Amino acid sequence: MKLYTKYISLLLKSQLQYKASFTMTVVTQFIQPFALFAGIYFLFQRFGNIQGWTLYEVFMCYAVVGICFATSTCFARGFDSFAEMIRTASFDRVLVRPRSTVLQILGASFDIKRIGHFMQSVFVLVLAIISADISWDLARVVMLANMILGGSVIFSGVYMLQAAAAFWTIEALEVANIFTHGIKEHASYPLNIFPKWITILFTFIIPFGTINYIPLQYLLGKIDGTGWLYAFIPLLGSLFIFPCILAWKFGVRRYSSAGS
């Protein structure tokens, strides 16, 4: 852990050196998601609601997913760009060091510029919380925190799987975008609008449903039940990370260097 904080503080310092470029990127990251935001807004202006869900409820979904996406791309950036490491065989260097590979890849990259996207999502979240009619209690607060935590873990898991796949493919897997950028774009909407197979895919296989749709139903007062039960469903979903770590370990064991 101490080593990790050291890694991060070094990366942070190096990125903050280029002030103009840093500011420009953060501003871009902040502005970009507004296109999707505006798109959702105008669709609701035209149609009123989407199967009983209102604009602010969907914004809540959008914001949670956005925060998780920004957080995990910031921290797990190393896994996102891992294919490059395989291709150039710089992964060899990681292997000879006496520390865990996961820690080193996590520490290899830290993309603080994602703060722009993060801020945009927080902005939408605040907007949604003010405007949506939610009867807050302790269980719901814990639930929201768990949703953000769980979602970040699941996104990181997907990045890890994508990186693990690179052990076999040696190149970046464009298909993985479906589950990172695809989720970011489309997971703003409640899962029940999709056909069964998509719902199952996002509940049991890549469990994004556990961090937005299922707890949100309770959070927004759409279903009754034990609040604390729903509060911990996101954590159940984040168990997804374990098979991902397993896949990663399996990949590492199989690794044979690509270059000189």
Partner 1 sequence: MKPYISLLQVRFLNGLQYRAAALGGLATQFFWGIMLVFIYKAFYGGAASSNGFSFQDLVSFVWLQQAFLSFLFLYDWDSEMLDMITTGGISYELCRPVRIYQVWYVKLLSKRLSRGILRFAPVVILGFIMPYPYNLSLPGSPVSLLLFIVTLFLGLFLLVAISMLIYISIFKTMSPIGSVGIFSIIGEFFAGMTIPLPLMPSWLQNICMALPFRWTADLPLRVYSGNIGTPEAITGIAIQSVWIAILVLAGAFIMKRITRLSVVQGG
DSSP secondary structure string, the chain? -HHHHHHHHHHHHHHHTSHHHHHHHHHHHHHTTHHHHHHHHHHHHHHS-BTTB-HHHHHHHHHHHHHHHHHHHHHSHHHHTHHHHHHTTTHHHHHHSSS-HHHHHHHH---GGGHHHHHHHHHHHHHHHHHS-----HHHHHHHHHHHHHHHHHHHHHHHHHHHHHHHHSS--GGGGGGTHHHHHHTTS-GGGS-HHHHHIIIIIS-GGGTTHHHHHHHTTSS-S-HHHHHTHHHHHGGGHHHHHHHHHHHHHH------
**Least Å distance between CB 124 and partner 1?**
16
**Least Å distance between CB 51 and partner 1?**
5
| Closer of 4 and 30 to partner 1 (Cβ) | 30
**Least Å distance between CB 110 and partner 1?**
18
| Closer of 58 and 220 to partner 1 (Cβ) | 58
Binding site for partner 1 (CB under 8 A): 20-21, 24-25, 27-28, 31-32, 35-36, 38-39, 42-43, 45-47, 50-51, 171, 173-175, 177-178, 182, 185-186, 189, 193-195, 198
| Closer of 179 and 240 to partner 1 (Cβ) | 179
**Least Å distance between CB 72 and partner 1?**
19
| Closer of 131 and 177 to partner 1 (Cβ) | 177
